Structure 1
Amino acid sequence: MSAKAGSAPTIIDVAAQAGVSIKTVSRVLNQEPGVHEQTRAQVLKVVAELKYRPKLSARSLAGARSFLIGLLYYDPSAAFVAGVQKGATLRCRESGYHLVVESLHNDAPDIDSQVERMVAALRPDGMILTPPLCDNARVLKALLDSNTPCVLMSPREVSAAQPSVRIDDVRAAEEVTNLLISLGHQRIAFIKGPDDQAASGMRYQGFERAMLSHGLAVDAELVWGGDFTFPSGVEAAHQLLSRRVRPTAVFAGNDDMALGVLAAAQRLGLAVPADLSIAGFDDSPAASLVWPPLTTVRQPMEEMARAAVEMLIAPPREPAEGAPPPSVNRVLPHELLVRNSTSALHGKGKRKT
C-alpha cells in the first residue's frame, strides 16, 4: 500500500510499505531505542522514498518531537557561522530534521524573553549555542526553565551536566606560537579577540604559555585588542607595524583579523613573509585563497556542528553495568596548517647575541 497520487503520505502509508506497525514508525522517527537496526533502516528508507514528514498538528502534541533544531549565534565572524550552519544543516537533513538559525544580540536587555518566545513558537527539540551566547547565563536559564536541551559550542567552562563540543584552543595557540619561535621569531605580536568570547582568552593563554616556556617575555606593547573582524585586524596592524622596532611576526586570534594584518602589511609595502610572518586561527575559506595563503589552525567547525546535532537527536544511552558513563563534553582534534605567510626570520631581524 502506498500514498494516493496527489496526497501527502501519512504515517499509515509508511508503516504499510515498511511492513511494520505505526508504533514502530513513530519510535524510529523519535530516535527511540529498542528498534532493530535493520528495521530502523527499512523505515527510514521508506520515509525517504515517500518523502514523508510528520504533520505540524502531530508535532504540537505534548511529548512529540518537532524535528526542529535551533542554532543561536551572535558572532561577527561570518566564516565561523557559515561553517557551523553548514555542518548542522547537513546532519539535521540526514535524520529528517530541520535547522532553524536565529541571531541574537548578546547584550540585548530582553534576550531571555526573546529566547522564551522563540522556544514557545518553535518548540525545538534542542538548541545549539555558539560563542558568546553559550556563556550567557540569561540564555542558559531561559532554556533550562523551558526544559529545552542544548549543546554549547566552545564554552568558557565545561560541566559534566552540560553537553558541549570544542577544540583545545590553548594547545592550538601554543602550537602556532611554537612554530613562529622555531622559525627564529622572538618579537611576536598577538591580536586578541573580544573579551566576551572565551576563545579570545584561551588563545592568548596558549600564546603566553609558549612564549614563557621558551624564556621569551611577552611585550605588552605588542598585544593588541581586536574584535574578530577584518577592520580590527587592519587597525591593530597599523598600530603594531608603525612602531620604531616592529614585530617580525603577528599571530592574530582568528583568520579575519589575520587577513586584515595581511592587507595592512601590503599597503605599508611590507613583503609577507620576508618582512613579516602572519598566522591566524580557524582556517576560514579565505585563508587558503589569499596570497600568500595563511598559516592557521584548522578548527573543524562543520564537524563540531555535526557532533552538536548528534548529541541532541541521539543522546548517549545508559552504559553497560560497570562501564564508565559516556562523556557529554567532546573535544575534537585541530590541525596546524603551515602555509606561505610564515617563514624563517631573515638575518636582518635576528637578535644579536
Structure 2
Amino acid sequence: MKRQRMSDQGGTVTIHDVARHAGVSSMTVSRVINKNVNVREPLREKVMASIKALKYTMNMAARSTRAGMGGVRIGVLYSHPSASYLNEVMLGGLDQAARLGAQLLLEKCGGLQSQKNAVNRLVEAGVDGVILPPPLCDSAPTVQMLTRVGIPVLALATARPLPEVSAVRIDDFQGALALTRHLTKLGHKRIGFIKGNPTHTPTEVRYEGFLKGLSEAGITLDEGLVVQGQFTYKSGLEAGRELLDRKDPPTAIFASNDDMAAGVMAVAHGLKISIPEQLSVCGFDDTPVASTIWPQLTTVHQPIVAMGRSSVSTIFERIKELKSGEPSRPVHQLMKFTLMDRDSTGPAPK
C-alpha cells in the first residue's frame, strides 16, 4: 500500500493537517472524503487541492478497501458517570463485535469542546458508525456533528429517540410506573423521588411514570419530596440526606438509578434507619451494584448487556446497507424490562 507523506512535524499526514492546509475544519475534510453532497463545489476543490498537495492517500484508500464488512469500525463515544453501566454495555458490545468481525473504538469525552475533539478523532480513525451511550445519546450537537459527515448514529438508552438516528432502549415510563405501583401496593403514601441528570431524557420520562403511579393510587404529590440528582452515587448521598433530614421523611424513596439508590442506602445506614422496616429504597437499571449492596436493591432490570449487543448489530446492519447503496432507515428497538423485587422494599411502617 502506498505510504502517506510525512507531515512537517514528522508524523503521517492526518485529516487535521489537510484541514489546516486548506483553511477549513476537519469535519469539512471528512465530508469531502465521504463525498457528502452538502459541501459547496469551490470548497470541495480547495480541500481536494490540499489532499493532493500533501499526498493524503492512505486513509482514502483504506476506506475503499474496507468496503467489505470485515473491516467495519464502530465508534463508542462515552461520557457516563456510572462505570458499571458502561462496563455492562461494553460486555455485550464487544462480544457482538467479535461475532461480526467488527472493531470497536472507544473515545471518552466531557464538555462540548471535548465532544467535538472526540468526534474528530473518531472521524480521523475512519469509523463507519457511532454508538452513543447515555447521556450523549441525547446530545443534539454530537448527533449533528456525526450526521453532517454522513456517519450513522445509534442512541443507546434514550427515552425519546430522534427520528433520524437508530435507537435501542426500554420503555422508561412503564418501568417507572411499575416500580411506583409496587411501592403503593406496599402501602407507601409518602414516597420521595430523586431525579437524574436533567439533560438525559429518561430523567423526565421516569418522573412522568412516577407521577402516573401516584395518580393511580390517589396520592397527591408532595413536591418537597422530589429532589434533583445527577445519576451519580455522590448525588444520591446528597439527595438522601436532604430527604431523610426532614421532620416528616418519606417511608419510601425511588431513586432514578441504582447508583443514587446506593447513596440513599448508605445515608440510611449511617442514620441507623432500618431498610426495609423503616424505609424502602428502590433504584433503576439493575446494574451490578444492585445485587452487591445490602440489602439487595429492588429495581427495574434494563437488559444492558443485551442492549449493548443489539446496538452493535443494529448499527452494523445500517452500515452494511449504506455501503451497498441500499435505502437505509433508522431502526428503533424497544427491549423488555423486568421488575426485580428484592429485599430493599417492604410494607410501609405502621
Question: TM-score, normalization: structure 1?
Answer: 0.76
Label 1:311 to 1:223 Cα distance change in 2 as closer, same or farther (>3 A).
same
Query: Structure 2 CA distance, aligned partners of 1:98 and 1:117?
Result: 15
Equivalence for 2:73: 68
Answer yes or no: is 1:97 the counterpart of 2:102: yes
Q: Secondary structure at the match of 2:113?
A: coil
Query: Structure 2 CA distance, aligned partners of 1:111 and 1:291?
Result: 37
Equivalence for 1:269: 272
| Shift, 1:57, TM fit | 9.4
Contact persistence 1:116–1:146 (CA under 8 A): no
Equivalence for 2:211: 208
Equivalence for 1:79: 84
Label 1:116 to 1:61 Cα distance change in 2 as closer, same or farther (>3 A).
same
- Cα RMSD (Å) of the superposition? 2.3
Equivalence for 1:303: 306
Equivalence for 2:120: 116
Contact persistence 2:107–2:122 (CA under 8 A): no
1:231 to 229, 234, 237: 234
Show the 5 A alignment for 1:1-353: 59-61=62-64, 64=67, 66-105=71-110, 107-109=111-113, 111-120=115-124, 122-315=125-318, 328-347=331-350
For residues 133-168 of structure 1, the C-alpha deviation after alignment (integer angstroms, 9 at most, x for no partner) is 122222112211221111111225334442111100
Query: Structure 1 CA distance, aligned partners of 2:169 and 2:266?
Result: 30
Q: Secondary structure at the match of 1:314?
A: helix
Query: Structure 2 CA distance, aligned partners of 1:171 and 1:83?
Result: 22
Query: Structure 2 CA distance, aligned partners of 1:102 and 1:203?
Result: 28
Label 1:287 to 1:113 Cα distance change in 2 as closer, same or farther (>3 A).
closer
Q: Secondary structure at the match of 1:306?
A: helix
Query: Structure 2 CA distance, aligned partners of 1:117 and 1:290?
Result: 38
Q: Secondary structure at the match of 2:64?
A: coil
4+ residue runs over 6 A deviation: 55-58
Q: Secondary structure at the match of 1:79?
A: helix
Query: Structure 1 CA distance, aligned partners of 2:105 and 2:330?
Result: 27
Contact persistence 2:72–2:102 (CA under 8 A): yes
Query: Structure 1 CA distance, aligned partners of 2:320 and 2:101?
Result: 21
Contact persistence 1:169–1:199 (CA under 8 A): yes
| Shift, 1:175, TM fit | 0.5
For residues 298-348 of structure 1, the C-alpha deviation after alignment (integer angstroms, 9 at most, x for no partner) is 011111111111112223999xxxxxx99711000000000000011132x
Task: Give the paired residue count.
Answer: 285
Equivalence for 1:24: none
In structure 1, the gaps of 5 or more residues are 1-54, 319-324, 348-353
Partner amino acid, structure 2, of 1:80? Y
Query: Structure 1 CA distance, aligned partners of 2:340 and 2:99?
Result: 30
Query: Structure 1 CA distance, aligned partners of 2:341 and 2:118?
Result: 43
Query: Structure 1 CA distance, aligned partners of 2:107 and 2:259?
Result: 22
Equivalence for 1:29: none
Contact persistence 2:75–2:104 (CA under 8 A): yes
For residues 210-237 of structure 1, the C-alpha deviation after alignment (integer angstroms, 9 at most, x for no partner) is 1012111111110011111111111111
Contact persistence 2:239–2:264 (CA under 8 A): yes
Query: Structure 1 CA distance, aligned partners of 2:90 and 2:61?
Result: 27
For residues 152-201 of structure 1, the C-alpha deviation after alignment (integer angstroms, 9 at most, x for no partner) is 11225334442111100011001111000000000000011111111111
Query: Structure 1 CA distance, aligned partners of 2:320 and 2:153?
Result: 17
Query: Structure 2 CA distance, aligned partners of 1:310 and 1:261?
Result: 37
Q: Secondary structure at the match of 1:195?
A: coil
Partner amino acid, structure 2, of 1:209? K
Label 1:316 to 1:210 Cα distance change in 2 as closer, same or farther (>3 A).
farther
